[in-house]
């Protein structure tokens, strides 16, 4: 297994010890769920899935399975805003010999670019991604696990994204505890899940407009990389211990503007108002430590019809330590006509380390 498995084992062990819904207003036509697992990238046609036909062909094979064209893919998947069908995903093929970063891929799954920034962790783990209204990419790098090693990063990237030349970026934060899922709201505010930090952070614009002092990125971090002069930062939501929302990992916006957040180790998904108030629980198993009947949700994604999807790492105990098991799954939560969540249902099982998701308007599979 990749180093990401060991990262989660250490992080979580430290945490342990301290039918279509009637509610839907849009169809799933033209939407595809991109689901990394086992270092490969699978794609699911959500229109077919809504009709009960679950097919998950591989768009990008792992480097171990295809040494020529394969790439090791993980984390969230985000469409480039240029309408080309190209997308960004975490790509760490061959690390540490090749630096980990975010790969840029054509709609057919061919790598057409890579974005790399220095990290403090020994084995960097690219994860979150999202584009803002200005067309700038924001990403999270997990950092080292544990409460004392808060070196996860939030990075702002500037075009061009295609190509393999030096990347243009500015770091907005470098002290996040196990940085995970990332989303951006209608006001351009950036939300980052912090698992070992037991919080959801929110960063507000204005953000730098370029990777230098003229663009508001005149500081330098401990690695010599460009750092923002100033960033507005706050805690959007802290741990809700009594409801088991502690190890925040995945984030996704609901159609009503509320924020879904998963707590991977405790197996829960909660819904928060724009003010950071816990509104209700979406997934709430009876157990407090894994295994959970409804899995250990990590990455989240919401379709246009309101269906919520989550990637389940299948955290299990090995030698008194928790880590991802061999039966990772992909789940769907539908909502009834009154908006109440229904029992989660398994769409795929037998997956290896499914950590992130992305819903994109189109697929290169078969093109």
Which residues pair with residue 129 across a beta bridge?
139
Rounded distance between C-alpha atoms, residue 280 and residue 363, angstroms = 34
Question: Of the candidates 343, 318, 315, 308, which has an alpha carbon nearest to the alpha carbon of residue 329?
Answer: 315
The DSSP result for 305-366, as a single string, is: T--EEEEE--EEEETTEEEE-S-EEEEEE-B-TTSPBPPPEEEEEEES-----EEES---TT
Reported pTM: 0.91
Per-residue pLDDT of the chain (367 residues; tens, 9 = 90+): 444 444 443 343 333 323 323 323 344 558 999 999 999 999 999 999 988 899 999 999 999 999 999 999 999 999 999 999 999 999 999 988 899 999 999 999 999 999 999 988 888 999 999 999 999 999 999 998 766 679 999 999 999 999 998 999 999 999 999 999 999 999 999 999 999 999 999 999 999 999 999 999 999 999 899 999 999 999 999 999 999 999 999 999 999 999 999 999 999 999 999 999 999 999 999 998 889 999 999 999 999 999 999 999 998 877 777 777 789 999 999 999 999 999 999 999 999 999 999 999 875 564 5
Rounded distance between C-alpha atoms, residue 299 and residue 356, angstroms = 4
The full set of domains in the chain, from first to last, is 3-360 (2.120.10.30)
SS3 218: coil
Q: What is the largest CA-CA distance in the chain?
A: 54
What φ, ψ does residue 348 adopt, rounded to 5°? -140, 145
Q: Is 143 exposed, middle or buried (0-12, 13-18, 19+ CB in 10 A)?
A: buried
Please state, in angstroms and as integers, the Cα–Cα distance from residue 203 to each residue in 25, 187, 208, 262, following that order.
31, 11, 12, 19
In this structure, the strands spanning 259-263 and 315-318 are: unpaired
Residues 246 and 265: beta-carbon distance below 8 Å: yes
């Amino acid at each position: 297994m990749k180093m990401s498995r060991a990262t989660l084992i250490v992080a979580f062990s430290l945490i342990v010890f301290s039918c279509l819904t009637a509610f839907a207003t849009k169809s799933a036509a033209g939407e595809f769920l991109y689901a990394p697992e086992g270092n490969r990238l699978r794609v699911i046609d959500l229109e077919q899935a809504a009709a009960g036909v679950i097919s998950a062909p591989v768009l990008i094979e792992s480097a171990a399975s295809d040494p020529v064209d394969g790439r090791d893919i993980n984390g969230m998947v985000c469409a480039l805003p240029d309408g080309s069908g190209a997308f960004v995903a975490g790509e760490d093929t061959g690390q540490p010999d090749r630096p980990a970063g975010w790969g840029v891929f054509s709609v057919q799954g061919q790598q057409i670019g890579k974005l790399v920034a220095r990290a403090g962790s020994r084995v960097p783990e690219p994860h979150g991604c999202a584009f803002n209204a200005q067309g700038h990419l924001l990403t999270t790098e997990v950092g080292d696990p544990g409460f004392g090693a808060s070196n996860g990063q939030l990075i702002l990237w500037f075009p061009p994204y295609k190509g393999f030349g030096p990347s243009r970026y500015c770091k907005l934060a470098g002290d996040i505890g196990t940085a995970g899922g990332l989303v951006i709201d209608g006001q351009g505010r950036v939300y980052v899940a912090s698992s070992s930090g037991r919080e959801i952070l929110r960063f507000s614009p204005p953000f730098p407009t370029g990777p230098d002092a003229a663009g508001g990125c005149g500081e330098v971090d401990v690695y010599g990389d460009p750092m923002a002069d100033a960033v507005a930062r706050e805690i959007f939501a802290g741990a809700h211990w009594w409801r088991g929302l502690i190890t925040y990992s995945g984030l996704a916006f609901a159609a009503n503007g509320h924020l879904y957040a998963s707590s991977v180790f405790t197996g829960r998904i909660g819904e928060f108002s724009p003010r950071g108030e816990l509104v209700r629980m979406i997934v709430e198993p009876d157990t407090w430590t894994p295994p959970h009947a409804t899995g250990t949700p990590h990455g989240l994604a919401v379709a246009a019809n309101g269906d919520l999807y989550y990637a389940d790492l299948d955290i299990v105990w090995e030698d008194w330590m928790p880590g991802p098991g061999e039966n990772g799954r992909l789940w769907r939560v539908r909502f009834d006509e009154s908006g109440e969540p229904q029992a989660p249902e398994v769409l795929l099982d037998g997956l290896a380390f499914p950590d992130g998701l992305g819903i994109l308007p189109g697929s290169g599979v078969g093109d």
